[in-house]
Amino acid sequence: MKIKSLLLSLMCLIALNVSITSCSDDDDDYGRNDSGSTIELPQKRAYILNEGSQGANNASISFYCPDQANFFVKDIFQTQNDAKLGDTGQDMIEYRNSIYVAVNGSSYMTRLNTAGVEQACHAFTVNGATPRYMAADDGYVYVTLYGGKVVKLDAQTLEEKASLSLGNNLEGIVECNDKLYVANSYKKEDAQFVYLSDVFVINTKTFTLEKTLTVTVNPNKLTEANDKVFLISYGDYGTVGYTAQMIDPKDNNKITVIGTATDMVADDERGMVYFVNSETDYSNWPETSTINTFYSYNANTLEKKDASFLKNAPEELASSSVYSMSVNEANGDIYIATTLYSAGNGTIYRFDQNGNFIDKFDCGGQNPKKIIFFN
């Protein structure tokens, strides 16, 4: 255990290299910081986290410029830091003009500046406590871990300030009005998977558990729009299927089932949540077949629109396996990422806020997981 802890800490130090001595607090206004960049980047930026394949050490971050489609950097993390990102990129968020990345297989997370240059690093050294998802609020980043903890880190230094032991294997997390909503997905008993039905509600001011909600089994993904929390449960892979739900904190956390969905993304600026049910048949793996159904939900009017929010989408998107969706809230552009799993790079399809197709491009890596934007 001590050897593993030492190695993980050393990995962080190596990844940071010279940036350790040049770190300083961000300006009070949290303006852009491109210090240390090896290349000149355009003003508008999209960073794409490619998960990679488990165990292959091929997670990466690609750079895409929405205004200059030909300006693309396949692995900007390696370009800027002269190091690989690691094994299995799990989550990426933007907060106070910094980029935070959780790398599950390599058991660490990192903070990058607006040019993708590493500023701080935190290694998770407890056996099995691998990072999953992140949320940020009031100067802190909260990380869910397999092993049942939510860890509270200083957003600037990534120093651990507190941890809260809650459940078993925690997945999605979202902040809504000084509350954290955390999905407790499953546990193992005698080598068998036992799927759970818990969403924990944590008070961020006291960092204590306030209540536990009962939702559809195997809760996983969480997002927020118009002060409402949206959840996708994965079900038990048998009798209970993927289920999209809405939790209304202002109505005593009332839970409403919306429909069937495998993924979602919220445009909080416009109060819209976009869903996809990407039904993929894996029975002839590695050959797969997929049927996609897109729909939307208005978090302001509480109205579901069953018709697809996409218009002139390329024909192949209807049968491509959707891996993730992201939204640029500055202009409402919707990015839909598809995967070829370990067989090749994923493809990203870009639409405007009205669902009109703009373009598509190779994401630069395997299994595109998340996109964040600087406008």
CA distance 60 to 83: 10
Type and span of the H or E element at 336: strand 333-338
- Which residue, 120, 110, 114, is CA-closest to 41? 114
Strand order in the sheet with 219-225: 219-225, 228-233, 243-248, 254-259
Residue 127 has what pLDDT? 81
Of residues 30 and 354, the one with the higher pLDDT is: 354
Tokens for 212, please give them. 């536990």
pTM for the whole thing? 0.92
| Residue bearing the bigger pLDDT, 68 or 162 | 162
pLDDT band at 23 (very low <50, low <70, confident <90, very high): very low
- Cβ atoms of 33 and 374 closer than 8 Å: no
pLDDT of residue 29: 67
Q: What is the pLDDT of residue 3?
A: 39
Residue 90 has pLDDT above 70, yes or no: yes
DSSP helix/strand/coil, 351: strand
Average predicted confidence (pLDDT) for the chain: 92
Which of 6 and 147 is assigned the larger pLDDT?
Answer: 147
pLDDT at 271 over 90: yes
